[in-house]
Structures are given as structure tokens and as C-alpha cells.
Structure 1
Amino acid sequence: MNLTRRQALAGMAALSAGTMFGLPAALAQNKTLIVPTLGGVWEQFWRNTLAPEFTKASGANVTLDVGNGRVWGANMRAAGVANPPYSVVMTNEVFASSLRKEGFFEKLDLSKVSNYNDLYPLAKKTDGWGAIAMVSPIGLAYRTDLVKTPPKAWKDLWTNPEFKGKIGLYSFSNSAGKMQLMLFSKIFGKDMYDTEAGFKALGELGSVIQADFNLSTGIASGEFVIAPFDFGEVARLRKQGLPIDVIVPEEGLLMFDQTINILANAPEKELAYEYANFLLAPETQALLMKEFFISPTNSKVVVPDDLKADVPISGPEMDKILSWDWDFMNQNQAAFAETWAKTVK
């Protein structure tokens, strides 16, 4: 077949893109992968950057489905295990855990996810059923202009009188709220399962300010002076001029996570695996880090000097991020939500 120079260059560009992200240059021009994504800045980045890069690498079209874990879970359950609307879903492990038990996801074929081998142990905690592609570590943030004695540990929320009545927490409806319960159970009880001790500690905190999602407004206004915050959000607030800092508590870090899962009956399973490997590639992880200040889960990514202040958790520091039993939490969340409402003032 005779190729024009333009066609030859186009073919070379597609091959280069595939090589960059460790993908085959798939001949999938007529195929479409539906990619669930969060809204707002996340949708914009996927639409303007990641989706075009994946199309360049794979040859497939991308259609974004904007929503969240609850919405995608509802869509899958409505369609049924045998006929899912998606081939790949990246969502918080709290949602992925439930959907996995319901049979929606398959154990990963790791021969199709070459970048899995380079992930930190933290990203492999689901025993091959998924892979964490994004981590936003959560430490303890405080207003540097309103706090005289900076915190060193989560326990300081109870012992530092400066914090009394000026503490922000995520509500139980947020996955971070559930993590707070398991963390406080672990700190004040035998382990994360000792929720009686966790609720007792929560009750002893006194009055707190709760938020379902956005704690930034409260700490910016001074409504509270200390709260759990992910490092990326602290970086954004700091760049806006807010006097704020965040520490790695002695007891460890929480995290917002995004786990990649492949649907057992995926309509485009091969594309789903290409997309999963694309998200885990060092090049994609670096793009996500620069845009959202996430901690890359691929150990090959080196945080550049100009980002270390905004992305301080990488390398050995990743071991300070705690993991949780989401099956336990999901099985008991209705009862826990009721107790939370009665306990947290």
C-alpha cells in the first residue's frame, strides 16, 4: 500500500504515543471507551488532556460519564452484572469494595497491566482485584496564624486546649468520616474494629464543625482552626494566600483513594485494560501529580524539586498512609451512621 508522507508521520506519531505510555498502538479507531470521571476541574483535565492522550495512544474514542462513585454504582446496579454500562471504573475503595462483592469486577489480568509491578505496596492492597491509581494523603492541617502550638499527632485534638470547640471533621457520609471513626478506634481502642472506643473518643471531643465534602471554607473563615485535610488542598489554599500548614501525624495518614477496577462483563475489556495501564503509567501519574498535587502510586515517578513542598508524600513516606477494612465498614455503616448522629455534637 502506498502511504503519503502525512499518513506515515501520523502513523509514527500514534506509535510514539503508544510507546510513551507503555501501550500497544491499538487499531481501535472505531471503538469507544466510556470513562467515568468526577466533575469540575477533574472533568476538564480528563477532557482536555487525559482523554486526548489516551486516544492518541490507543486509537480509541473516549466518552466521559461525569458523576461519582454513588452514581456509577447505581447505574451498574440498575443495568445488572451481566450488562454493565462501563468497562472500567475508577472510584473510592469504599464503593469499589461493595461492587466487587456483588460480582461486578474481575480480578485483574496482570499480564495486561505491566505498570502494576511498579506500584507502591499501598496501591496493591486489594490482592489483584484493583489498583490504586490516585492517592491524596490526608494529614492534620491547621491555621498557622491562629494556632500557637502546632499539632504533632491526632491525639492533640483532645489534649491541646487551643483546639477546643475549633475542630473541623468530615461527616460520616464522606469516606474520610468513616476513616476518622476507624482511626480513632485504633488510637483509643484495641484496633480499627473497636468502634465503641472510637465513638467514645468522638464524644469527648466536644463540639466540632462537620462538613460532607468541603472543609476549606470553614478553615479559611476561621470557623475552626484545625481539621483533616489532604495535602493537595492545603497546597491550593496556601497558593491562595491562606496561612495554613499540614503535618504527618505520629499515628499515620488517611487518604482519599481512587481504585481502578475492570468490569467482569466489560463491553470493551481490552480497551479497559489499556486504559488502566495508561493511568498507572509514570507519564500519566506525573501529569496527575502536577495538576492535582496527588502522590503518585507508581514508584518510578520522581517528585521534582519545585513540587516537593506541595507533594511531600512519596517514596518511603507512602508507608505512613494507613489502610482500612472497607468490607467491615460497609457491612456496619447503617448502624455506625446512627451512632455517629447521636454521638458527634
Structure 2
Amino acid sequence: MRGKKTTIFGLIALLIGTATLFGGCGSGGTSSGNSGSKTVNVLCWTEYLPDSVMSNFQKETGVKVNLTTFSSVDEELAKLEAGKDGTYDLLIGGNVTSLKEGGKLEKLDLSKLSNYGNIKKDYRTYVEDPKGEYTVPYMGVTAVIAVNSDKVKDQITSYQDLLKPAYKDSEVVIEDAQAVVGMANIATGHDFNDLSDKALGDAKAYLEKLRPNIHAFNGDSPKTLLLNGECNIGLIYNGEAAMAQKENPAIKVYYPKEGVYYAFDRLSITSAAQNKENAYKFLNYILDAKVSKSISDKYQYINPNDKAVELLGSSYQSNPLFVLPADVVKRCQTPNGRTSAEKTKVANVWTQIKG
């Protein structure tokens, strides 16, 4: 869902390789434990887990968090492929469908998560985990249009507005193939999840028109390009837009009127985790209300933790970037879990546009 600048390193080959990686793996629930370990190995999106959370966890438990970050859902899979089973204990990201199908996820023992009750019931299940058996919600994201109103006087409320020739080479777009192609679907009157040849053909045509206006694909820190003047318009994640607004109030944010990309990153434990008990400890720690609040203080996305939202106060609760207005909720479209073959279809469009 979230990402940073990265080369799409053989995306199609990667997806095929991922299918090979997952083939023949056992189901969740293997018997890896801790063996007295004082570490937990976490794979997470960049700029998503505060250093203070990891250091405070170590102070309280004696367990050190070894953090590896990724920049796109494709890089997440690449790092899982490159590492041996058990390289990572806890995941904070996406790819739930692929990971479940490959037997890479532990079926969670909720009795070990005393803070699970802090999670709002509406968020406990997800399209890729309909029973909430393998994952716990971490943070939710939307994609918004962010505009430096000091440089651009128009209100840009539509995906079609982004095509105007006046915005040539002035836009930054998140580096997320599945999200961007899905939004191109929405822009051309299709459902986000429509992978028919007609829909993807229309999405490609839209992105070809948009391409001259895109100065950079960047999921690492697109706000930086808005703040330093390199770009004036961004199709970026809500949390990045919020951080940009904090530094420059001239940054205005709009939810596209045709439809809004909306997704939730999930916390999960790998079935081959070598430090499984520590993974449970850290997952439960993240679900603590005060800890969850501290995460949102640093990286402001949609927080599913009811108790944390209470602590975050009215400034958070009244911000439409974090608590979506009813009219925006009606326009939200959430990605379905996709197979490797379906991801390849999207990747074909992406690589033709991005190059």
C-alpha cells in the first residue's frame, strides 16, 4: 500500500518467482519458538514504525527489534523470496492473499494478544482475511490529491483534472502498481478491482495521458517533493499529505470525486518465525493504546485502535484525513486479494507506463 522510490526490478519475473517461492510451503502454525532469543525480526514499510516504539519495547522487555524496510508490495515479496524461511518473524504490510495461499502466515492465537480488544470491531476483518484469523489491522490509507495552493490556484478534485497540460512535469505519484492502475480504472468509470481487458485498456490509456505530467514516482517521501517545490501536485497517501500540511498549510487536499482508493496494512506473524513468542509480544505491544497513539503521532494514517483514537483527541478525530467523512466513505474502493496471475496483468500495464 505504501512505498518509496524503487526500481520495479523485473516485476513480472518477481511475481512468477513468488509463485515458485510459495509453492510447496506448509500451512500456518509451525512450531518455531524463541529458544531464549532476545530479538524479533520485522519486515515493514519504510517510514511506518517509529524508532521510539522499537527502543521503548526493548527497554520494557529486553527484546531488540531488528527492522528491515521495503518500498512497495513487490519489494516486500522480493525480500521474503530472498530470505530463508524464518528470516522474518513479524510483517507489517500487504500481500495477505499471496502469503496465505503460500502457507507463509501463522494462524493467530488471539489469547496471546491481550490488547486485541482495543481494535474497533469494524476493522478486525478484511477482504483478504475475512475471518480475521491471520492478521490484525495496523494502519489504513487512502490516496488523495495534494496541491500546493501557492503554486496552483485550481481546485483539483478529479482524476481527470490531473491530465491538464498546464501541469506537465509537475506531479508526484505514489509508486504502487496495484493502487495506481486501480485508480486509473476508477478514473475511466470502472471498478477499482476490474481486471478485464476493457478496464485495463482504458486504465492504460488514462495513464498514458497522465504520464507527461508525472515528474516522479515516489512512495518513500512524496511530501518532500511537494515541500521543496520540485512538484506542485501529488497523488499520494493520506499520511504523507497530512505531514506535508503540517509543514506547509498551503498544501490542500482533495478526495477524488470519482472514487477513493482505501486499504489497510496488516500485522501478521510468519508461520516459520524463529522468534514467534517475541513476535506475539511485539504485536501486542503495538496494540497498546498509548503505543498506538505514539505511532499515529509520528505517522498519521487511519488508526483502527479505538482506545488510541480516544487519546489522540479532537484534532485527530476531526481531521478528514484520519476519520473519513461519510460522503468519502461511500466513494471508497478497497482492493481485493489478487493472485500472482492477476498481479501480472496489472504489472504489464504498469511497466508499459512507467518504463
Q: What are the Cα deviations for residues 24-55 of structure 1, in whole angstroms up to 9, with x where unaligned?
A: xxxx9954231325598667x33xx2234434
Q: Give the superposition deviation at 1:257.
A: 4.7
* Aligned residue runs from structure 1 range 1-345, under 5 A: 30-36=36-42, 45-46=50-51, 49-55=52-58, 59-68=61-70, 73-74=77-78, 76-78=80-82, 80=84, 83-91=85-93, 93-94=94-95, 96-117=96-117, 118-119=119-120, 121-122=122-123, 124-125=125-126, 126-127=129-130, 128=132, 129-158=134-163, 162-163=166-167, 166-170=170-174, 174-175=175-176, 177-191=177-191, 192-193=193-194, 194-205=199-210, 207-209=212-214, 210-213=216-219, 214-220=221-227, 222-241=229-248, 243-254=250-261, 257-300=264-307, 301-302=309-310, 303-307=312-316, 312-314=321-323, 319=329, 321-328=332-339, 330-343=340-353
Q: Distance in 2 between matches of 1:229 and 1:240?
A: 16
Q: What are the Cα deviations for residues 303-339 of structure 1, in whole angstroms up to 9, with x where unaligned?
A: 42344677732266694653102414x4344443343
Q: Distance in 2 between matches of 1:238 and 1:324?
A: 27
Q: Which amino acid aligns with 2:200?
A: T
- TM-score computed with the length of structure 1 as normaliser: 0.72
Give the direction of change, closer, same or farther, for the CA distance of 1:122–1:216 in structure 2 (3 Å limit): same
Residues 33 and 87, structure 1, Cα contact 8 Å, conserved in 2:
no
Give the secondary-structure state (helix, strand or coil) at the position aligned to 2:321: coil
Q: What are the Cα deviations for residues 277-328 of structure 1, in whole angstroms up to 9, with x where unaligned?
A: 2212322221111112222121332342344677732266694653102414
| RMSD, matched Cα | 3.5
Give the secondary-structure state (helix, strand or coil) at the position aligned to 2:173: strand
Give the secondary-structure state (helix, strand or coil) at the position aligned to 1:184: helix
Q: Distance in 2 between matches of 1:71 and 1:203?
A: 24
Q: Which amino acid aligns with 1:168?
A: V
Q: Distance in 2 between matches of 1:203 and 1:40?
A: 29
Q: Give the superposition deviation at 1:150.
A: 0.8
Q: Which amino acid aligns with 1:132?
A: P
Residues 97 and 327, structure 1, Cα contact 8 Å, conserved in 2:
yes
Q: Distance in 2 between matches of 1:120 and 1:133?
A: 13
Give the direction of change, closer, same or farther, for the CA distance of 1:206–1:265 in structure 2 (3 Å limit): closer
Q: Distance in 1 between matches of 2:201 and 2:254?
A: 27
- TM-score computed with the length of structure 2 as normaliser: 0.71
Q: Distance in 2 between matches of 1:116 and 1:315?
A: 23
Give the secondary-structure state (helix, strand or coil) at the position aligned to 1:107: coil
Aligned to 1:14: none
Q: Distance in 2 between matches of 1:120 and 1:156?
A: 37
Give the direction of change, closer, same or farther, for the CA distance of 1:148–1:202 in structure 2 (3 Å limit): same
Aligned to 1:10: none
Give the direction of change, closer, same or farther, for the CA distance of 1:189–1:90 in structure 2 (3 Å limit): same
Q: Distance in 1 between matches of 2:211 and 2:37?
A: 56
Instruction: State the identity %.
Output: 20
Q: Distance in 1 between matches of 2:82 and 2:217?
A: 30
Q: Distance in 2 between matches of 1:243 and 1:315?
A: 21
Give the direction of change, closer, same or farther, for the CA distance of 1:234–1:50 in structure 2 (3 Å limit): same
Give the direction of change, closer, same or farther, for the CA distance of 1:314–1:148 in structure 2 (3 Å limit): same
Q: Give the superposition deviation at 1:256.
A: 7.0
Residues 203 and 343, structure 1, Cα contact 8 Å, conserved in 2:
yes
Unaligned ranges ≥5, structure 1: 1-27
Q: Which amino acid aligns with 2:313?
A: P
Q: What are the Cα deviations for residues 161-203 of structure 1, in whole angstroms up to 9, with x where unaligned?
A: 6546644323xxx32x421211221342442223222112222
Residues 36 and 72, structure 1, Cα contact 8 Å, conserved in 2:
no
Aligned to 2:21: none
Q: Which amino acid aligns with 1:54?
A: F
Q: Distance in 2 between matches of 1:35 and 1:325?
A: 28
Give the direction of change, closer, same or farther, for the CA distance of 1:253–1:280 in structure 2 (3 Å limit): farther
Q: Which amino acid aligns with 2:350?
A: W
The count of residues paired between Structure 1 and Structure 2 equals 304
Give the secondary-structure state (helix, strand or coil) at the position aligned to 2:306: coil
Give the direction of change, closer, same or farther, for the CA distance of 1:104–1:220 in structure 2 (3 Å limit): same
Q: What are the Cα deviations for residues 224-276 of structure 1, in whole angstroms up to 9, with x where unaligned?
A: 43221223323333343473111223344335753211122333333322322
Residues 29 and 60, structure 1, Cα contact 8 Å, conserved in 2:
no
Q: What are the Cα deviations for residues 90-137 of structure 1, in whole angstroms up to 9, with x where unaligned?
A: 22x14x433332211023233333544523635521222212212343
